[in-house]
Chain A
Amino acid sequence: MRLRSALNRAVIIGILGAAFLSMHRFGLLDPGELRPAAGRLAEFVTALFPPNAGVISTLSGAMLETLEIAFLGTLLGFIVALPLSILATRTLFGGGVYVPARLALGAIRTVPSLLWAVVFVVGFGLGPASGALAVAMYSVGYISKLLYETFEGVDEEVLQSVRSVGANRLQLIVYAILPESANSVVSQLLFMFEYNIRASSIMGFVGAGGIGYYMLGYLQLLDYESLMTALLITFVVVMAVDYLSARVRSLLLPTQQPVRRAPLLAGIVAQP
C-alpha cells in the first residue's frame, strides 16, 4: 500500500516535471518573453472589437457552406466507415480480415484533415467539394474506430444467443451487433458532426470552402473586427448544433426499429 502511494506520487511528480521542462524549453517560464507576448495579445484582443456587423450576410452564407461540408462529410464518412468497421470487428472476423481492415483505417486516420483537404483540392480544385471529401476521409478513420470498439463491446451472451439459433454472420450483425450498438452509434455520429463543424471551419485555410476562407483572408488583411464576427458566428452555430444534437439524442434514443412483414404476404396475413 505504502509502495503504491509512493509510486503514485512519483508518477505525478514525473508528469509535472515533464510539463515544467517543456514549458522551460518553449520559453513559457521566461518573464522576458512572457511580458511582451501578453502585451501583443492584449493589443490583438482589443483590435477584435467591435465586431464588424457589415460582413454578417457574407459570412452567414459561408457558414451555411461550412455546415453543408460538415453534414455531407459526416454522412459520407459514416457510409464508408460502417462496412469497414464491421470488417474490423474482432468478435465477427478472424485476424485475416480484421487486421488488414484496421491497418487501412489506421492509415486513413494518420492523415490530418487539412492534409486531406490539400489532397482533394489538388484533385477537385478549390471549393466545398474538396472540403466535404476531406471531412469524409477524416471521419472514416475516426468513426470506424469508434464503431468497431462499440461493436466489440456488445454483450457476448447476446451474440451467443443469436448465434445459437443458427443465425449466420450477416444475421448476427443485423439482429445483435447493430441494434445493441444503435444508441452509441447515434451518439457518436452526432459527436462527429459537432466536431466536423469545427474542423470544417478551417478547411477554407487551404481553399476547401466555408467560413475558414474568409477567416484566413481577414487575418491576412489584418481586418480583426471582421475576423471577430466570423468567430462569433462560428461560436453561435456550434452552440446551436450542440443544443440541437442533445435534443435529437433524446428524441431518437432508445431506438427501436420493428421488423416488417414481407410485402407480398402483407395483404393475406392478419395483424398479429
Chain B
Amino acid sequence: MESTEQTARFTCTCGPSEETFRQIYLTAHKSWRIFWFIFAGAFLIYIGYHMTNRILWSLYAGEPLLTEPMFWLFIGELALVGFLTAWELTGPKRYAKKQLRRIAETYGGKDPIVRVSFCDDEMRIYNEASDSRMQMSYATIARCVETKTAFLLITQEKQFLSFPKDCFEGIDIPGVRAFFDAKCPNAKRNLKKADA
C-alpha cells in the first residue's frame, strides 16, 4: 500500500452513494432517454390531437364516445406510453437503490470504501472492505465524462468508474480535468472547460 502512495500523483477515496449510481445510470442511458422522451412527446401530441377531435365530434354530433373502439385504443396507447415514461423517469432511483442493496448484500452491510491512486501509468484500486487490489491502465478508458458532482471514466467494456469531485486528495478539480485530458488522449471526452 505504501509503495502505491509513493508513486501516486493523487488519490480519490470514496464509498458507494445513491448520487453516484444515479449519475452512472443517467450517463449510460442518455441516448435512450433522449430518444424515448422525444418519441413519447410526439406520441402524446398525436394522441392528444386525435382524442380532442373525437371528444369534440362526439359532443357536437351527439355520438357515444365510450362505444368507439378507436377511443379505447387511444386510451390504451396513452396508458402504455405514460407507464413506460414513468418507469424511465424513476429509472435512476430504482437502479441506485438496487445497486446499493447488492453492495450491502455482497459486503454483509459493510461500507466498501475504495481508494484509487492515480499513478503515471495506471490506476491502482484498493477496496478496503474486501482488502483487494487491482490495476487498470488508462488505455482501457474509452470515455471521460464530467457531471455536476463527479467524474466518470467508462472503459471499453462499458464498466463505470465514478469519482465524486469532493473525494480527491492532493489535487484541485481543474488539475483532475487536465490529468484525464493528458492520460486518456484517445478517449471520447466531455470534460468541462477549465473556467467552467
A binds B: no
Chain A residues within CB distance 8 Å of chain B:
none
